[in-house]
Amino acid sequence: MFESFDLSLVPRSKRDFALNQQLIAISPYKEFDYKVKWFDGYAAVWIWDRVLQKKERQEFLGQRNLPVFPESYLFEKKHDGLHGFRGLEGYVLQSWQKNKLFAEASWSVKPESEELNWFFQTIEKENYSHEIEWREPEYDFSFKRSLLERRESLKKMLLAGTAVLLIGIMSYQSLGIMRLSYSLKSVETQIFDLHDEKSEVVRLRTESLKKTDALRKLSSFDRPSQLFLMTTVANALANESGNLIEWNYEAKKISAVFSDFRTPPDLAVESLEATGWFSSISLNIDSIKNRVSVEMEVSYEL
């Protein structure tokens, strides 16, 4: 069964649905299948009984899953006019108008004039008087046709492939984000651990500085005073009482200058060392000015 539908006013994305609704309305079969050729919104459709086709298919093909379609579906496109074909299992007459397949009829044997006239009436060519020339059909097995036939399945495959690709990309990105989150969490944990360790070090250092400062303050009480050192030197050098003319005490170093120094140098050094407070003792004798400069370091721990 052949039918044609003008769906050029229907949006392209909705034409398949609109065609299916039209076929449901006009099909004489309870269950049917069909093949369609599109010509810019114009649909040329072959319809057949699915139950009968399935039965015959099992008888001839068994379990082989081969595509089934009308023979005339494979005929090459023709110019406008009437075209007769002698096919594999009968005769087919097609009417082409404006580069579209407008109508088609088929017979198992060569049709008589009455059958042809009936077809002419359906296409409003009652006065057609030319002899129909029945020719061997030329078939179109092009790759383009194969793609057009499978465009819906290809569309579904493309959508499925795109979905799989997007899922793969999203999964990869999600995995990357999870890895990054884990790395950041690990770094954050290390930072917290390091912060705790550093905080403890800082705390201990602060306490140490406080204790050191306290010890320094306490040690200042144990540091010998300048008066004590002067008294100790005076006692060690008793013969030089009243001869001290200059005293300088700075950074644990003492410089004392005496005039008219009467104590022998070696005895002076021994006397100062005997106090236990002085070390690195040296005497510089200026015989011209009759002066002796005693240089020494104070021995104590801060």
- CA gap 81, 114 in Å, rounded: 20
Number of other CB atoms surrounding residue 49 within 10 Å: 17
Asked whether residue 143 carries a pLDDT value surpassing 50, the answer given is no
Residues 180 and 200 in one domain: yes
**Signed CA dihedral, 174, 175, 176, 179: sign only:** positive
Count of structural domains, the chain: 3
The average pLDDT across 93-102 equals 92
Residues 47 and 86 in one domain: yes
274: which 2 tokens? 């005997």
Residues 214 and 250 in one domain: no
Residues 57 and 34 in one domain: yes
65-69, 118-122, 160-164, 289-293: which has the minimum mean pLDDT? Answer: 65-69
Residues 137 and 158 in one domain: no
Residues 234 and 289 in one domain: yes
pLDDT in tens, 242-300: 889 999 998 889 999 999 888 899 999 999 999 889 989 999 999 888 999 999 999 87
**Signed CA dihedral, 174, 178, 179, 184: sign only:** positive
Residues 162 and 124 in one domain: no
Q: CA-based angle 38:44:49, to the nearest 5?
A: 125
Residues 141 and 195 in one domain: no
Domain extent, residue 171, equals 150-222
pLDDT number for residue 96 = 93
Number of other CB atoms surrounding residue 57 within 10 Å: 15
36-40, 140-144, 203-207: which has the minimum mean pLDDT? Answer: 140-144
Residues 108 and 18 in one domain: yes
Q: Which of 147, 179, 202 is the last residue of a domain?
A: 147
Residues 141 and 180 in one domain: no
Q: Which of 147, 163, 180 is the last residue of a domain?
A: 147
Residues 143 and 154 in one domain: no
Residues 277 and 288 in one domain: yes
**Signed CA dihedral, 120, 121, 123, 128: sign only:** positive
Q: What is the CATH number of the domain that holds 239?
A: 3.30.980.10
Number of other CB atoms surrounding residue 170 within 10 Å: 10
Residue that is written with structure tokens 């010509």 in the block: 39
Decide if 87 contacts 137 (C-beta within 8 A). Answer: yes
pLDDT in tens, 30-51: 899 999 999 989 999 999 998 9
pLDDT in tens, 146-194: 545 555 556 677 778 888 888 888 888 888 888 888 888 888 787 777 7
Decide if 91 contacts 110 (C-beta within 8 A). Answer: yes
pLDDT number for residue 19 = 94
Q: How many residues does the chain have?
A: 302
Asked whether residue 196 carries a pLDDT value surpassing 90, the answer given is no
Q: Which of 90, 115, 147 is the last residue of a domain?
A: 147
